[in-house]
Structure 1
């Protein structure tokens, strides 16, 4: 009896230790000192528990914290002059813009840079080619077109439109938006020599399971996911010879977030989402109504490439930690010099991501009034 009471009372007063999730990754050493863009793997981003990745820290081999700032997207490097194409036509009507690019030199073209007056709207583009302005051929079907991070000035947005390489004498670019007014297209052209890093990295979803329910919906889940990723782009491939238009709900039951969009045979079914959490508790619900369920061929998701910019010493060993819920974002001097540091810096990758269990002591529990007499009574045995 004494031993039982002692064990019980001891469990009330001793410190209890719990594991707190913390992840660590090594930063590959650099051969020259200077500023670098440290690429954040999508697995590292998934381990972050704070908004805006404020729980990231970098340390050197002496465990001293190293200052950094977060680059929003992948760096963009422009190493030559911008060359504008001559526009034979620039029509603005309702939510539609139509421009015809003159390629009389018959240059091989695989990319257009389109500068517009800044506008916060969803944009879609399609491209046709012609050699005589009479017979037109499809070059690129209707697709989302995205803003690049850099701007020519504070009032302009730069759009990047990739197309299959060709050398039509004329290209017709049709841009639609989701408002009732057109965009203001300022110029269309290309860079004589440019290098743009990919803005998105694909995330491996593993398999997905699609189940048709009696409530006329198809539910899609991702049972193989171990982490909850923060996705920025979603692509759903549908096999269907007939036209279709289905309402879709993307929902995460843990974070209580949802997003509605439409699957349509008229678009490429590619969607930009704002760091939407996608994991085991995320599902996609497709409203079929009285139609046959769609044949979903593939689902792809992408995360926005993120980089930390930091000054690294030659041969020094650095590591990155993520997962601790800091009360606030770090405050570094380097934040005041973001615009002075080039974006086209060498890129350094991380490796050896692993989990570290950090012990956390729980304060001693004070005995209640009922428990105190028991304790004193035991001392008298």
Structure 2
């Protein structure tokens, strides 16, 4: 638990305000949060397919299901292309337990109808609504207070999802000895946490991460100068051991330098972060917003150019993946003997026997 918390801390900069602001809570949504649904799932997956290809195949499976095809029939039809499995959820699930991508559909779909495929990683899920019911509201229910609390919860979930996504793309190596520092920090015992991070520096003198976390604590204590000293030490270590670099270190340092009106130094740190995220389109877009926010407008073009290159590479990769899919489909077609061919083969065998 503490290890997970530490790893994520490096990513919780000032991104929080950028997520969850688009969440709208209205009476329709509030009422739906008291609904529960009983569903079953059709799972379509193939690790070899791109997300676009898997989505396309899942849409075809959905069309077949709505046309009356059974899961067993589809398992045969799509053998060698995708795997198809099904299972029924025995219990009712709360509306908010479902992914936000399907909640709108869930609230308006009739019973025994299928929702559009919902895809993540290497699998797509086709959900059928079997039944629904409404939970009673508490005796002290107040819609305004409930809606306010609900929005705060959803905003936090959206932010945490963003943190998890970025963390998955940018894991940071940590050590078992950090557990004590994180424990103290989680308890609000900041001085003891600072001391523990200092001990960690003694154990791992080339690691810039403890400086990063000490800087965060100093910011909490409103000691920006001390935080800047820590981040400067961390950046110096990165210069000596480049493999220890992580973009969040430079962004954090740059953010504080901006607060101190040291734009030139801040720009240098943002540039170092830019160099570290060349292959990550999503992170490039986030950093681009930093440049725009701080009026480094003459540098925006390089972000657009790099993002365009990544988009082109993605298109080329998708084309290759499409060719691979077509090869799979061709192979599957060749493995299926048509009725006429089968009849001809049977006739030939009969003639030979005679």
Q: TM-score, normalised by structure 1?
A: 0.20
Q: TM-score, normalised by structure 2?
A: 0.21
Structure with higher strand content: 1
Structure with higher helix content: 2
